[in-house]
């Protein structure tokens, strides 16, 4: 895998702009040609696929340049952060396939140093303690008006700042602000807040501190402390770059890390804002953060997505500054591509219809030979039980079929995969007009699914022997939202109105190949002609629940829709 990545990026025709800039720096021997990146999550939530893009970029880039990537928890806000998130984030990054080695850091580990630096700034006359309330600070900044305390003496500032640290003031009472330029067209430069008071205990430093550095005061300096050379972040920090540089310049830190911004990932039919994901969980529109419909890494993991499929997606979408939305099929396709090569095939009937083979002996049973994976001979073969009464998919029989329908219909012959050719000789219906049983005859000469006379059979359908079937629940998962851009709602409307009511369909009584009874949690299969399914890790032992990870492409569904369209058109005319 590492080899592939290296090949792609070093020998490939093109390189994204971030890699381009990093390589230019290396070529210019900046930082002695060293490359250090970092992934800086705030431990206040779970990682989602948007984070995966940043993780892949930072780790892959460091790897390509023989550098390293640090994991740094940006834990400067005790009100929001918790250790459970630290643990979850580490677990998710590892699962994705990345290793930060010993480079696990916390912004909170630098509190003392950041404090010292803040005092330095005060002494230089570049920071002051401000008494304005939050509302007033906002107002003054908007108007470009100086804080009344902007010209406090260094001595007073130092004393007040120490008092802040000592816990003498209540929350919101005072802040430490950088003295930059209240007239700057860049709002972030209008005397940004560096420290605020918060008496909430911190997940790592407990009650040791009651003043906390803001992102702007902590981030660049944390990068510098760790020797980060390239600090990659998302577009919304673009306006902060001059401030990022101002801090490091004032502190005379050398060498200085370089901030580069890139566009974050957006996916169709998906919502990736932390706030919105939280609402989905809290308002119970999903089971939890690891609901298989969630775009969180734990959700995707539970659903059966592989780390490499996610990495492939991140690699394919590239890195740029254009704010784009990736079609979710891009993700689905990356997974299909991988599972097509690796997932063992099994037969599973989701919507069972009974088939009786009238010329097959009542009590006979035999085992037919089936290929586990046509894409991978080393996956071997297996024996599947066959008998007189079978289950087939309800959708594979039509009393009256449209043209180009290759499956079972009266008088028509199809192949039962790995079994025999069967011809439909009749069917039964109940009072409601629903087909309850299909009657067929089989050709004993076609065992295995081939005929010696070279007779052509257009349809091949899957089946499960009724007597041997393993019954289980299957959950069909679809997009959580029914619109491509769920967040696009009319003024005042809620994105939840775009929730897809059919995102989760539970189907019980599915008839599966008996071997599937032994499937273990997380194990992935292709149910032939349906899609890829995995055993829900939350299913109870001995009664696996299968989740549909992703469906197979279905060109018949497309064709049928098209035919139906033509039909109604000609009828209407």
Q: Any contact of residue 238 with RNA (CB under 7 A)? A: yes
Q: Any contact of residue 564 with RNA (CB under 7 A)? A: no
Nearer to RNA, 275 or 284 (CB): 275
Separation of alpha carbons 538 and 291, rounded Å:
10
Beta bridge mates, 241 = none
Q: Any contact of residue 13 with RNA (CB under 7 A)? A: yes
Based on the number of CB atoms within 10 Å of its own CB, is 333 exposed (0-12), middle (13-18) or buried (19 or more)?
middle
Report the site for RNA in 472-501 (rule: CB under 7 A): none
Q: Which position among 274, 316, 383, 455 bears the catalytic label?
A: 274
**R_g over Cα of the chain:** 31
CA angle 416, 422, 424 (to 5 degrees): 120
With contact defined as beta carbons under 8 Å apart, do 529 and 542 qualify? no
- Phi first, then psi: give them for residue 8, nearest 5 degrees: -55, -45
Q: In this structure, what is the dihedral angle of CA atoms 199, 200, 202, 205, given to the nearest 10 degrees? A: 30
Cα–Cα separations (whole angstroms), residue 228 to 34, 71, 101, 224: 9, 11, 16, 6
Which of 36, 89, 118, 137 is in the footprint of RNA by CB under 7 A?
A: 137
Q: How far is the CB of 412 from RNA (least distance, A)?
A: 11
Separation of alpha carbons 386 and 366, rounded Å:
5
With contact defined as beta carbons under 8 Å apart, do 428 and 436 qualify? yes
Nearer to RNA, 134 or 522 (CB): 134
Helices and strands, counts by H and E, the chain = 14, 25
Q: Any contact of residue 556 with RNA (CB under 7 A)? A: yes
Candidates 151-159, 182-190, 301-309, 359-367: pick the segment binding RNA (CB under 7 A). Answer: 182-190
Note if 90 is an active site residue: no
Which of 245, 375, 443, 478 is in the footprint of RNA by CB under 7 A?
A: 375
Note if 264 is an active site residue: yes
- Phi first, then psi: give them for residue 547, nearest 5 degrees: -105, 135
With contact defined as beta carbons under 8 Å apart, do 78 and 203 qualify? yes
Q: Which position among 5, 30, 145, 264 bears the catalytic label?
A: 264
Which of 245, 443, 450, 523 is in the footprint of RNA by CB under 7 A?
A: 450
Which of 149, 205, 308, 340 is in the footprint of RNA by CB under 7 A?
A: 340
Q: Which helix (H) or strand (E) holds 559?
A: helix 555-572
Report the site for RNA in 312-331 (rule: CB under 7 A): 316-327, 329-330
Which of 77, 229, 498, 549 is in the footprint of RNA by CB under 7 A?
A: 77
Candidates 3-11, 132-140, 282-290, 468-476: pick the segment binding RNA (CB under 7 A). Answer: 132-140
Candidates 98-106, 151-159, 453-461, 491-499: pick the segment binding RNA (CB under 7 A). Answer: 453-461
Q: Any contact of residue 197 with RNA (CB under 7 A)? A: yes
Q: Any contact of residue 134 with RNA (CB under 7 A)? A: yes
Q: Any contact of residue 336 with RNA (CB under 7 A)? A: yes
Note if 274 is an active site residue: yes
Candidates 92-100, 154-162, 352-360, 554-562: pick the segment binding RNA (CB under 7 A). Answer: 554-562
Q: How far is the CB of 319 from RNA (least distance, A)?
A: 6
Nearer to RNA, 531 or 544 (CB): 531
Nearer to RNA, 23 or 467 (CB): 23
With contact defined as beta carbons under 8 Å apart, do 97 and 308 qualify? yes
Candidates 53-61, 94-102, 281-289, 548-556: pick the segment binding RNA (CB under 7 A). Answer: 548-556
With contact defined as beta carbons under 8 Å apart, do 423 and 413 qualify? yes
Residues with catalytic function? 42, 264, 274
């Amino acid at each position: 895998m590492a080899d592939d990545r290296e090949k792609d990026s070093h020998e490939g025709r093109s390189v994204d702009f971030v890699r381009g800039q990093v390589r230019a720096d290396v070529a210019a021997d900046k930082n002695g040609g060293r490359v250090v990146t970092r992934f800086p999550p705030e431990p206040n939530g779970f990682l989602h696929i948007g984070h995966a893009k940043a993780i892949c970029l930072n780790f892959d880039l460091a790897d390509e340049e023989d550098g390293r990537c640090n994991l740094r928890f940006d834990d400067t806000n005790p009100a929001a952060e918790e250790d459970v998130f630290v643990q979850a984030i580490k677990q998710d990054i590892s699962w994705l396939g990345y290793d930060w080695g010993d480079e696990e850091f916390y912004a909170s580990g630098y509190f003392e140093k950041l404090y010292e630096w803040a005092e330095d700034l005060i002494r230089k006359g570049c920071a002051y303690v401000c008494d304005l309330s939050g509302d007033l600070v906002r107002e003054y900044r908007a108007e470009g008006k100086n804080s009344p305390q902007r010209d406090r003496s260094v001595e007073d500032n130092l004393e007040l700042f120490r008092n802040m640290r000592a816990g003498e003031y209540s929350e919101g009472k005072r802040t430490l602000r950088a003295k930059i330029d209240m007239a700057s067209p860049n709002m972030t430069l209008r005397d940004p807040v560096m420290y605020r008071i918060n008496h909430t205990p911190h997940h790592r430093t407990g009650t040791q501190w009651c003043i906390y550095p803001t992102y702007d005061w902590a981030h660049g300096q944390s990068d510098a402390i760790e020797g980060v050379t390239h600090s990659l972040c998302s577009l919304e920090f673009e306006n902060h770059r001059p401030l990022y540089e101002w801090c490091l310049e004032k502190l005379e830190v050398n060498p200085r890390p370089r901030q580069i911004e890139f566009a974050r990932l957006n996916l169709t039919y998906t919502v990736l804002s932390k706030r919105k994901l939280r609402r989905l969980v809290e308002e119970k529109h999903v089971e939890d953060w690891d609901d298989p419909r969630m775009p969180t890494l734990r959700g995707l993991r539970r659903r059966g997505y592989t780390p490499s499929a996610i990495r492939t997606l991140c690699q394919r979408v590239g890195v740029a500054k254009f704010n784009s939305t990736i079609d979710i099929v891009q993700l689905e396709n990356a997974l299909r591509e991988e599972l097509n090569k690796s997932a063992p095939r099994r037969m599973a009937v989701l919507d069972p219809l009974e088939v009786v083979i009238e010329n097959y002996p009542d009590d006979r049973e035999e085992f037919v030979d089936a290929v586990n994976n046509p894409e991978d001979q080393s996956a071997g073969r297996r024996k599947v039980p066959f008998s007189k009464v079978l289950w087939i998919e309800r959708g594979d029989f039509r009393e009256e079929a449209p043209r180009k329908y290759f499956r079972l219909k009266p008088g028509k012959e199809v192949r039962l995969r790995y079994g025999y050719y069967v011809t439909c000789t009749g069917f039964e219906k109940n009072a409601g007009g629903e087909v309850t049983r299909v009657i067929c005859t089989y050709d004993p000469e076609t065992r295995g699914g081939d005929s010696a006379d070279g007779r052509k059979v257009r349809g091949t359908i899957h089946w499960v022997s009724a007597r041997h079937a393993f019954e289980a629940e299957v959950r069909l998962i679809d997009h959580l939202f029914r619109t491509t851009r769920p967040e696009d709602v009319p003024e005042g409307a809620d994105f939840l109105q775009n929730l897809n009511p059919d995102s989760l369909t539970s189907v019980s009584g599915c008839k599966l190949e008996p071997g599937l009874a032994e499937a273990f949690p997380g194990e992935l299969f292709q149910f032939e002609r349906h899609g890829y399914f995995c055993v829900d890790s939350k299913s109870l032992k001995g009664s696996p629940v299968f989740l549909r990870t992703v469906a197979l492409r279905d060109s018949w569904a497309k064709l049928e829709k098209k035919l139906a369209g033509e039909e109604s058109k000609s009828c209407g005319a």
